[in-house]
């Protein structure tokens, strides 16, 4: 029953229109769900993301007027298996136009669901906490829009990730792997020993 409730919530978030489920609203919903489940939460705003040098998240976010967010959820039970920390990292693109490499107009309306991996992580964390699973778990969801604004990243640009690796942008519609790159790095920085990207 608990899993069904969280599955329905993840589906509802994935179906929400992009003008309503912006990165900031998505982050607020994640925090509300997590707090109700007794999970520790943290939301990184664009300044904190910049201070961590997450150039991949910031690069994708550049074309949008909506600022990015990165949500951290933690399940840290006292009876956790020692030495293991599961890191769940979910893609939180609340709307994906493709950026400068813009998608065809047909079916672009469906790109409001490009944050469903992030929704899955947000809903998996309370589902893990509900039965008091004896495993430490960190959920990370980088959240942004991918828009073709005047400051948007361009094909041929080079971005620097939080771990110092550089990435040449060939197609701006490959934004998911970019934000997941910084998200996976941060999960490891927070102690994750096993990673799942969604």
CB atoms closer than 10 angstroms to residue 149:
14
Rounded to an integer, what distance in angstroms lies between the CA atom of residue 167 and that of residue 71?
23
Work out the widest C-alpha separation in the chain, in whole angstroms. Answer: 51
Candidate list 103, 110, 132, 154, residue with the active-site label: 103
Q: Which backbone phi and psi does 148 adopt, to 5 degrees?
A: -95, 50
What is the 8-class DSSP label of residue 74? E
Tell me the two tokens of residue 146: 């991918």
Q: Which backbone phi and psi does 20 adopt, to 5 degrees?
A: -100, -40
126 by DSSP, 3-state: which?
A: helix
H-only helix segments in the chain: 2-15, 23-36, 46-51, 55-61, 116-129, 175-189
177 is catalytic: yes
Rounded to an integer, what distance in angstroms lies between the CA atom of residue 129 and that of residue 93?
25
Rounded to an integer, what distance in angstroms lies between the CA atom of residue 77 and that of residue 134?
6
What are the residue numbers of the active site? 103, 177
């Amino acid at each position: 029953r608990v899993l069904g409730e969280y599955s329905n919530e993840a589906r509802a978030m994935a179906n929400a229109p992009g003008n309503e489920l912006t990165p900031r609203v998505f982050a607020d919903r994640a925090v509300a769900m997590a707090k109700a489940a007794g999970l520790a939460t943290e939301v990184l705003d664009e300044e904190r993301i910049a201070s961590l040098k997450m150039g991949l998240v910031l690069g994708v976010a550049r074309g949008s007027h909506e600022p990015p967010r990165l949500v951290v959820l933690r399940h840290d039970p006292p009876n956790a298996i020692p030495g293991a920390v599961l890191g769940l990292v979910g893609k939180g693109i609340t709307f994906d136009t493709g950026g400068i490499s813009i998608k065809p107009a047909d079916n672009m309306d469906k790109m409001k669901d490009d944050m469903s991996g992030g929704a899955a992580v947000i809903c998996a964390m309370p589902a893990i906490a509900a039965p008091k699973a004896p495993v430490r778990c960190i959920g990370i969801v980088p959240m942004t829009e991918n828009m073709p604004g005047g400051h948007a990243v361009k094909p041929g640009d080079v971005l620097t990730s939080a771990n110092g690796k550089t990435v040449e942008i060939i197609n701006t519609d490959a934004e998911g792997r970019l934000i997941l790159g910084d998200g996976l790095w941060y999960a490891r920085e927070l102690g994750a020993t096993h990673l799942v990207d969604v």
